[in-house]
Amino acid sequence: MMVIRPITQNDLAALYRLAAKTGVGFTSLVADEPILQRKIEAAVRSFSLEELNQPGEESYLFVLEDTEADNIVGVCGLLATVGYDEPFYSYHLGMVTHSSRELGVHNVHPTLTLNNDYTGCSEVCTLFLEEDYRHSRNGQLLSKSRFLFLAQFPERFTEKIFAEMRGVSDENGVSPLWESLGRHFFSIDFSRADELTSLGSKQFIAELMPHNPVYVNLLPPEAREVIGKVHKSTEPARRLLEQEGFRFADYVDIFDGGPTLEVFVQDIRAVRESRLALATVGQPKATDSGTTYLVANSKVQDFRCIMIQRSTPPGSSLVLSDEEAKALNIQNREPVRIVELSPYSNR
């Protein structure tokens, strides 16, 4: 069975294996053992905090485990807030108007302006699934399971949440926007800037990046074309977020121009439509056909989420098989949170 659970100290080797497959531009998951160890330790501390009234510097890292193969095949994360312990920079796509009544000229120019507008907001991050498991709606389980955690524990996150998407780069890790803009100010390769960011060394951005608006029309066509576009491997992740209500709000990554999607937590489809039900361990009917649902327990440190199929919509009570209850780490008559996996598609 495919099960979402919090990461543990024993998952370092598996996390490193996944990180080694992400490639350049995936700054939240790099193949560096000390960095990954710190990420795991921070997540373990965050999950251990049973009582929280407001979001702080917590980070929640989940893994997708194939319990039959005893293998970790995916990872996803949530950050309670960003920008407090280290600066969080992005570009805002704006407009500047230049006009001359005498010449009868009125021009509107798109611009990129450096900002810290997402400081203090929660972030959806670190989504990666092994290629061999990109089927059977595993990607949806990995991405959308986080929204049941958000729904169950809203006090741990801010009202608005965002996702910074990986931008366009080629097979050699070359970013058109970086080559046309960032390189002129940093004099280093995109991969090196990417590495420094992943290490948490972001002061160089404030020291070297231009704080005046950058006129987009002055950039070469290949750079303009990738602003707000995602890497080809990130397109499925963007579609999943947009299904849930995330929207592009004219903010992009300062290095590769990848789009930032945002939404108010209460407007996320899986949060808004999820509901609590009382679990009954027994013999459910028709578990191999019908509508697919996400089901999660109501625990923090022992959070679990799985997919189930039911031929009829569950009501206030949900019958779970012994295997499903075990995967969710619950006993009979415990509460669970349930939501339809995707009302738009059965893929």
Please list the active-site residues.
231
Structure tokens at 192: 């090196």
Would you say the C-alpha torsion 275, 280, 282, 283 has a positive or negative sign? Answer: negative
Beta strands per DSSP E along the chain: 2-6, 59-66, 71-79, 90-100, 105-115, 122-129, 160-164, 214-215, 247-252, 259-264, 275-281, 291-297, 305-310, 317-320, 335-340
Residue-wise DSSP of 110-169: EEEEEE-TTTT-EEEEEEEE-GGG--TTHHHHHHHHHHHHHHH-GGGS-SEEEEEPP---
Question: What's the CA gap between 134 and 137, in Å, rounded?
Answer: 7
Count of beta carbons in the 10 Å neighbourhood of residue 187: 9
CB-CB contact of 40 with 61 (8 Å): yes
Burial class (CB in 10 A: 0-12, 13-18, 19+), 97: exposed
Would you say the C-alpha torsion 15, 19, 22, 28 has a positive or negative sign? Answer: positive
Which amino acid does the sequence have at 100?
Answer: S
Which amino acid does the sequence have at 178?
Answer: W
Question: What's the CA gap between 258 and 146, in Å, rounded?
Answer: 22
Q: Cα 316 to chain center, whole Å? A: 30
Question: What's the CA gap between 236 and 334, in Å, rounded?
Answer: 34
Structure tokens at 159: 């009202």
